[in-house]
Structure 1
């Protein structure tokens, strides 16, 4: 177990070093539209209550219309929500990432063993009143490990977990392929799902579109895609982190201006918001809000379609990375709250080492690589998610590519729409999007397997997994996973990250901070995350 692994840097922002940049920039970038989150009738619960019974209103800067299937989703909104609705055998603290018993009654005593036995919490029930049983655990892990299902969670388990067996109605055994202590922290990623609900025909499609039935402290009470999702405290929950709010209303507001407006001023309609724009930090602090930033793995990345020429040529992919003026992007779009990527991992990760290939700003080198590849007159349609800080970064990419003779068209669009196109294998050239594998955990093995690995969703998007370079990389990754010596494993991981950097198929441009704001006159116990979303399982009303 990685007891010694530090949590991501989390600190109270003084912002003094940036005060010059922020002092006159209280307004959100004018290029962002100020559309509302959705119909007002669905933005409020209609029963705000009084005192401790009032509804917590939160603003999430990401869409709620992507998959809600806890074994499939990478959506910031639904992942954050699912941590309140579902439980794993073990869950992890959102900041320290230390595991604690959730549906299970304890953590295995010997994490170096190849069999872990878990007993389920007595009296644990699903939100529909049915008891949680070992069959539910076996059903869930059956999906995780089924190669025909290809869940996202499979990337985090299949290499080390062989099978899950029912011992009796209230206990199960996990059979490991080899000792893997780090796996204990990954159990939170296999949120246990009720077999009697989700084994029915079509039920998993419903999970994708928003249906959520868990055993956690909150139950989903209503779901309005593109608008809001509401939750109620689950009265029969008997686990370790009970609901502290009677009701919650989570609004999805992707555009920055209305998101900031919702939490600002005397008529603010929300008590907490994630994804605060850097330009609005000073404004919100002056308004009495607590504002905290977390530096971690959050990044803007480029994804190339390697089945489409000339992006099958590594020199072209490298050229487009070398061409980007990252320092300008950090100054203009991120207001100083970022660092140029010098590895796939952020500098605070314990496995970090500067990569063998670092894409410093070098337009001359970019031009030379394109010439060497025999590419001239290149035009690029850059598809991108419409997450507000990504939208702010896009003009720098366009200006950088235009400057080396690559005519660039920007195509920002809703995240769900963009990834639907990728899932449907629609043609594309390059995608710019936001990612933060810290949503899943901190260890480098997990982080790298999120984007890279045979059968991986991202590899299918990139059309790269059948290349000789990819197959060599996957062998290196598998060897590092199986290496029992921690220092050797670290060195092996660092070496294969050099391969990832050189090939630049899916690779970060900048790592940046994420900012959360809340009203300390209303809430206590809030802890800002260095990854998208919020976790209020330990927060409460003042």
Structure 2
């Protein structure tokens, strides 16, 4: 009897214990699955440079748009991953035959993240803010052709132009042209409010920006797949690589160190993706200053440069040599690296002809970024071969470089990667830090804007590239690649970069 009851009790205990364990196990499994599901609903994106603010309509650094463009903020038009203009907050438009009137049909039912409605009066506010007398928009010139902004009704916006602007629809898709609202505009620098698929949550300065899915997003088909996303700021390339390998960040769409790309070879979890950017590395010269006011000196310096050696030495062989201020992604691209190929002997002769038989000495103001420092060192070695002494002065970017070079024009030579797409027109701007003046070049750029015929524009862009390749207002070196490193299961990041960006709307985890 006693044995029987003990057996019954112990069996009952065992059964209860087993049931308890099963419950705990089930809870643990459920918790684990929940954690995995939560992890799959979020992504952490690494960036080397932290933005200075979060409003791309008031400041130039590309990092601002890389966090906010197409995530928080949207434009009347947008530029897709292939560099093509697409409708966005404007669902369609018509252009008058003379190219002077653009009539936009706006999307209805669109709301900003704080509930403010988007309509033609908001679009007018954003455009007037960008083009007004006291505007600090970094691309204010995009709006210079606009004469009046009219709002016949809530869903119609009419732009009347002073002169045709063949690139207007493209420019309206840029980060600097996003639509901001009257109520929230002045605080967008720290708490951005847009119409995009993600809402701003918080910004821990020096560390990260957190975003969350916008549940009320107007474009149901383009709604964010992720529930949350984080941009983590890690400046040091070794630390970037360590964070990727540890899984602390899921992706570094612009990984900072080409020499470390090989360290990911054979990694089971991480993929390396090499795409195109618009980053043209050019060594600008002060064309208004001796000896750079003599075209022969500039041409001689170009012939001293072995572009492939610069790419190899500065960027581990990852990059495309260029002969003008244009990339192979851009429409109407011409390979002009053969106009002044590397030829040290010819370069020496041309320098002597220009009155410098014993060479030259001058200074390059080089930003602290690795590509600029290494490229400057390569130029220093190549120039030495033709008797030119190049002194390298590290110039803190952006603050000191913008003040000394960009604004004051106080420099001999500098080096920087120009990130804007199709920005060949910078050589027609006055003032601009190259101090290059060529009326024939300016006329070609005016003709580009006077037509909206793509074939005609491409032919004109070809002429513009050729003039720069021959005149050499800057040493055209190479296009930097987009070095992406990300988790193989993370899909939807852009491989190429027609506009500096981190568009997250299509990013999701594969099952």
TM-score, scaled relative to structure 2: 0.80
Verify the 8 A CA contact 2:407 2:433 in the aligned structure 1.
no
- Match in the other structure for 2:368: 386
Verify the 8 A CA contact 1:90 1:99 in the aligned structure 2.
yes
Distance 1:326 1:356 in 2: 9
Among 251, 270, 274, the residue aligned to 2:232: 251
Matched, 1:175 2:153: no
Q: For residues 285-316 of structure 1, what are the alpha-carbon distances to aligned partners after superposition, in whole Å with 9 as ceiling and x for unaligned?
A: 42231221113533211122234332233233
Matched, 1:108 2:96: no
Verify the 8 A CA contact 1:305 1:428 in the aligned structure 2.
yes
Residues 317 and 49 (structure 1), Cα distance of their counterparts in 2 relative to 1, 3 Å cut: farther
- Pairing 1:465-504 to 2, within 5 Å after superposition: 467=437, 469=438, 471-483=439-451, 485-504=453-472
- Pairing 1:108-147 to 2, within 5 Å after superposition: 108=93, 114-146=100-132
Q: Secondary structure at the match of 1:188?
A: coil
Matched, 1:223 2:203: yes
Matched, 1:528 2:477: no
Distance 1:229 1:260 in 2: 20
Verify the 8 A CA contact 2:224 2:507 in the aligned structure 1.
no
- Match in the other structure for 2:435: 463
- Match in the other structure for 2:412: 429
- Pairing 1:29-44 to 2, within 5 Å after superposition: none
Distance 1:482 1:328 in 2: 40
Distance 1:486 1:384 in 2: 37
Matched, 1:448 2:424: yes
* Runs (5+) with no aligned partner, structure 2: 1-33
Matched, 1:270 2:237: no
Q: For residues 421-462 of structure 1, what are the alpha-carbon distances to aligned partners after superposition, in whole Å with 9 as ceiling and x for unaligned?
A: 445526222211112333xxxxxxx4323x23334xxx4222
- Match in the other structure for 2:194: 214
Verify the 8 A CA contact 1:85 1:216 in the aligned structure 2.
yes
Q: Which has the larger radius of gyration?
A: 2
Q: Please report how far the alpha carbon of residue 59 of structure 1 lies from its aligned counterpart in structure 2 after TM superposition.
A: 1.0
Distance 2:60 2:455 in 1: 30
Q: Please report how far the alpha carbon of residue 114 of structure 1 lies from its aligned counterpart in structure 2 after TM superposition.
A: 4.7
Q: For residues 56-101 of structure 1, what are the alpha-carbon distances to aligned partners after superposition, in whole Å with 9 as ceiling and x for unaligned?
A: 2111233423x644235443321222211111112232x2234443
Distance 1:254 1:134 in 2: 41
Among 343, 349, 363, the residue aligned to 2:330: 349
Q: CA RMSD in A?
A: 3.1
Residues 225 and 390 (structure 1), Cα distance of their counterparts in 2 relative to 1, 3 Å cut: farther
Verify the 8 A CA contact 2:101 2:159 in the aligned structure 1.
yes
Verify the 8 A CA contact 2:280 2:326 in the aligned structure 1.
no
- Match in the other structure for 1:406: 388
Matched, 1:234 2:209: no
- Match in the other structure for 2:76: 89
Aligned residues: 466
Q: Please report how far the alpha carbon of residue 519 of structure 1 lies from its aligned counterpart in structure 2 after TM superposition.
A: 0.4
Distance 1:130 1:484 in 2: 35
Residues 63 and 506 (structure 1), Cα distance of their counterparts in 2 relative to 1, 3 Å cut: farther
Distance 1:359 1:123 in 2: 56
Distance 2:66 2:398 in 1: 17
- Match in the other structure for 2:62: 76
- Match in the other structure for 1:286: 266
Matched, 1:517 2:485: yes
